[in-house]
Structure 1
Amino acid sequence: MKVLHVLPSLSYKLGGPTQVALNTVRALRDFGIDAEIATTNDDEAGLLDVPTGCQVDYNGIPVWFFSRLARFKEFIPSVELTRWFIAHLSKYDIIHNHYLFCFAPTVAAKLAYHYHIPYITRTIGQLSPWALQQSQRKKQIYSRLIERPTLNRAAAIHCTTSAEAEDAHRFGVLAPTIVLPLGVKAAPVIANASQQLRDHYHLPLDCKVILFLSRLHEKKRPDFLLKVFAQLNPKPHNYHLLLAGAGDTGYCDRLKALARTLKISKSVTFAGFASGVAKDILLQGSDLFALPSYSENFGVAVAEALAAGLPVVITPDIQISPAIQAATAGLVVPGYSSDWVPALAKLLTSPDLRQKMGQNAQQLAQEQYNWPHISLQLAQTYQEILSGKPLSLEYSKTQQNNKSKK
């Protein structure tokens, strides 16, 4: 079986989607599926330093990079990629698209339909009410002319939670919808991560650290977290907030100015983008993880925190929140400061509760978000599509109606 995953960019600046695509393909290849990626050399404001027009080994994954023509947010058209699709797409058994409202997956879907190749589309939360409100008029036009018909011709729509499947149904998707979560790979345990973290950022050993690990973007609400943190009176309580992630320079400057205005600059560190061992130290050395996002279909960073044994504080708008709440792996808190201040204070002042929730978090990640099990189910879905069998992971409208009655 030969499978091509398509997405507009593999820039790490885009956060979760890049990690998900690489890890999905890696897990499939470990399972024996011949999976590859086709994308552009986009790196937001710049370009990735990679060869284009040929297959390269990119972090152990076979990837075809092609020169982007321009960048209109995530649309990112590419003439080279289009020509390659026309010449090579028919060599693949299944196309697995990531992203909506952008060039590469749209072209791949249309050509796959033309060549009678089944394709799957992963919506990555772009059909949530919050997401559809962004650039609303443009998305309404694109949806009517392109996206909704393209989704309805798909062999399956890949959603990571039942809530995401419900968003797809509300959008008018009639194609079969499967629910399959994403995985996270547990990092090797760093025995002295707590001390290494505090040594690196010049913090006292008894300092309690809140970690925000995500893109610095309005959707993730780091500004809200700064305001909540200020109300915790961090300096006398010996609390520290680490904001780890990249973002638009102007927005990051505004966040730093906000920290100064709130008089918490000395208790906040903008750690920048982190990967590898540096990221593992952040996850394993902090005391709790916080993400007050407006909308997340899954939240890869949340799942990574769970795998590292960190209790999490998140909003209900992060769609894996029901699983976290059921497992008592953290606190699911409405996105208001009146709720977030006491929630954070509760965990910061309760080491036993943090430890118990951290253990629950790790168990949840091991049971539900492990790549070997997920790649097996995805490979099974591919096989069902190719053989014309009913999809065992399909999320039915009956399930949706039953859920809404509870």
Structure 2
Amino acid sequence: MIILHIIPSVNPVSGGPIEGIFTSAPILRQQGCDREILSLDMPDDPWVKSCPVPVYPMGVSNLKYQSWRNKIPWLRHGYSPEFSPWLKENIKRYDAIIINGLWNFTSFAARGALAETGARYFVYTHGMLDPYFNRVSPLKALFKQLLWWVSEGRLVNNATAVMFVSEEERALAPKSFWPYRAKSRVVPYGIVDAPGDAKAQVKMFRAACPGVADRRYILFLSRIHPKKGCDLLVEAFAKIAAKDPDLDLVIAGPDSVGSVAKLRETAARLGVASRIHWPGMLKGDLKWGAFHAAEAFVLPSHQENFGIVVAEALACRKPVLTTFRVATWREVAEYHAGFIENDDLNGITRLLDQFVSLSAQEKREMSARARNAYVDKFDIATMAPQLIEAFRTS
């Protein structure tokens, strides 16, 4: 079985969807399912050259286009005159087409190309039909409703199936745009187990982040973006810092919208700047080392349809401190593998306070339950056959 993934970019900085494709590819290949990717990247982009999955980059390299891209809103969402022709010409090579995400040129162009071929295709919305986005950006929501009538709604409603990674995500999707008539299905969405030598990875991370040294810390690892609640995390940490003077906070990830400078100012104003560390984006052994060395993982997001980092933390036996806005909170709660609270300052403060109040024995027991949650709910090795069957039978 060969699947074509359509996604705007294979750049790892873009977040969870591409990370999920990368990490699950080897396991699915062992199960007889190969993957390829169609994207809007440039052929000479470094992440294209290092991509672990075959990728067909359709980005426009014309210098005039690049200069206009930042000036015209439509171009910011990508454009390629070669995208649709390539898809129409090659579509018969694939057993299934998967469109990852909405509201960009790949979904717009894919709808037109797929409508003409009658091919079987699936849509992963990756949380983009969560009503949260309409509440925070009502003007954008009006524009999206127009686009829904013209393109995105047709893509979703005519798909072979729209795949959701949790019941929570599926329940929220119909509340965003009208009309909604999708054939929906919740499918497994797991990750491969933490690879490599944990002790060596921890040593590597501590060497790369000397400010942490041998101190204990709670880890945030994701895009640094207002949606992720990092501002609340800094303020909450300042409130509980005196309760455990030997505990630090590591906020790791790419600064996607230039938030770090303001967050650092907040940390300095609250007197905890020396106890918060900013190692930037972590990949490979450095990322796994950060997980293994942490006491717990925190994700204070206002919206998250899955959160691959939650599964990664559980795989590394780390208690997860997160919010009811992260769709995988039910799995964490079911296994008592962490704490769940509201996505406000009081809620995030309670998350941290509850964890630091645990005894050493209670933390060890919670760590064991975290690992059990990963094995039962998120291990792609056991879920791969279910995922492949979903694409074959939907």
Query: Structure 2 length normalisation: TM-score?
Result: 0.88
Cα distance in 1 for residues equivalent to 2:261 and 2:85: 40
- Partner AA of 2:172 in structure 1: D
- Is contact 2:83-2:109 (8 Å) kept? no
Of residues 315, 337, 342, the one that matches 2:350 is 342
Q: Which residue of 1 aligns with 2:56?
A: 64
- Is contact 1:10-1:42 (8 Å) kept? no
* Structure 1 residue 238: Cα displacement: 1.7
Is residue 2:301 matched to residue 1:293? yes
Of residues 185, 189, 204, the one that matches 1:182 is 189
Is residue 2:390 matched to residue 1:381? yes
Q: Which residue of 2 aligns with 1:89?
A: 91
Q: Which residue of 2 aligns with 1:23?
A: 23
- Partner AA of 1:149 in structure 2: R
- Is contact 1:156-1:175 (8 Å) kept? yes
Instruction: Choose 58-67 or 279-288, whichever is displaced more.
Output: 58-67
Q: Which residue of 2 aligns with 1:5?
A: 5
Structure 1 residues 142 and 4: CA distance shift in structure 2, 3 A: same
CA RMSD of aligned residues (A): 2.4
Paired residue total? 376
- Partner AA of 2:171 in structure 1: E
- Partner AA of 2:103 in structure 1: F
Q: Which residue of 2 aligns with 1:370?
A: 379
Cα distance in 2 for residues equivalent to 1:197 and 1:67: 35
Q: Which residue of 1 aligns with 2:278?
A: 270
Q: Which residue of 2 aligns with 1:153?
A: 158
Cα distance in 2 for residues equivalent to 1:42 and 1:320: 34
- SS of the equivalent of 1:60 reads coil
Q: Which residue of 2 aligns with 1:403?
A: none
Cα distance in 2 for residues equivalent to 1:235 and 1:360: 25
Q: Which residue of 2 aligns with 1:401?
A: none
Cα distance in 2 for residues equivalent to 1:297 and 1:379: 21
- Is contact 1:209-1:242 (8 Å) kept? yes
Residues 27-176 of structure 1 mapped to structure 2, 5 A cutoff: 27-41=27-41, 48-49=45-46, 58-68=50-60, 70=69, 72=73, 75-133=77-135, 134=137, 135-171=140-176, 172-176=179-183
Cα distance in 1 for residues equivalent to 2:25 and 2:125: 17
- Is contact 1:8-1:74 (8 Å) kept? no
Structure 1 residues 74 and 20: CA distance shift in structure 2, 3 A: farther
- Partner AA of 1:381 in structure 2: A
Cα distance in 1 for residues equivalent to 2:145 and 2:257: 30
Q: Which residue of 2 aligns with 1:354?
A: 363
- Partner AA of 1:60 in structure 2: P
Q: Which residue of 1 aligns with 2:14?
A: 14
Cα distance in 1 for residues equivalent to 2:279 and 2:216: 16
The percentage of counterpart residues that share the same residue type is 24
- Is contact 1:121-1:154 (8 Å) kept? yes
- SS of the equivalent of 1:237 reads coil
How far does the alpha carbon of each residue in 1:76-122 deviate from its partner, in whole angstroms, 9 at most, with x for none?
22223233123222332321110011111332233122101010000
Structure 1 residues 328 and 236: CA distance shift in structure 2, 3 A: closer
* Structure 1 residue 352: Cα displacement: 2.0
- Partner AA of 2:352 in structure 1: L
- Is contact 2:307-2:326 (8 Å) kept? yes
User: What runs of 5+ residues in structure 1 fail to find an aligned partner?
Assistant: 386-406
* Structure 1 residue 74: Cα displacement: 7.1
- Is contact 2:331-2:377 (8 Å) kept? no
* Structure 1 residue 5: Cα displacement: 0.8
- Partner AA of 1:30 in structure 2: Q
* Structure 1 residue 197: Cα displacement: 4.7
- Is contact 1:95-1:112 (8 Å) kept? no
- Partner AA of 2:80 in structure 1: S
Cα distance in 2 for residues equivalent to 1:165 and 1:77: 29
- Partner AA of 1:305 in structure 2: A
Of residues 296, 302, 309, the one that matches 2:310 is 302
- SS of the equivalent of 1:61 reads coil
- Partner AA of 1:129 in structure 2: P
- Is contact 1:120-1:154 (8 Å) kept? yes
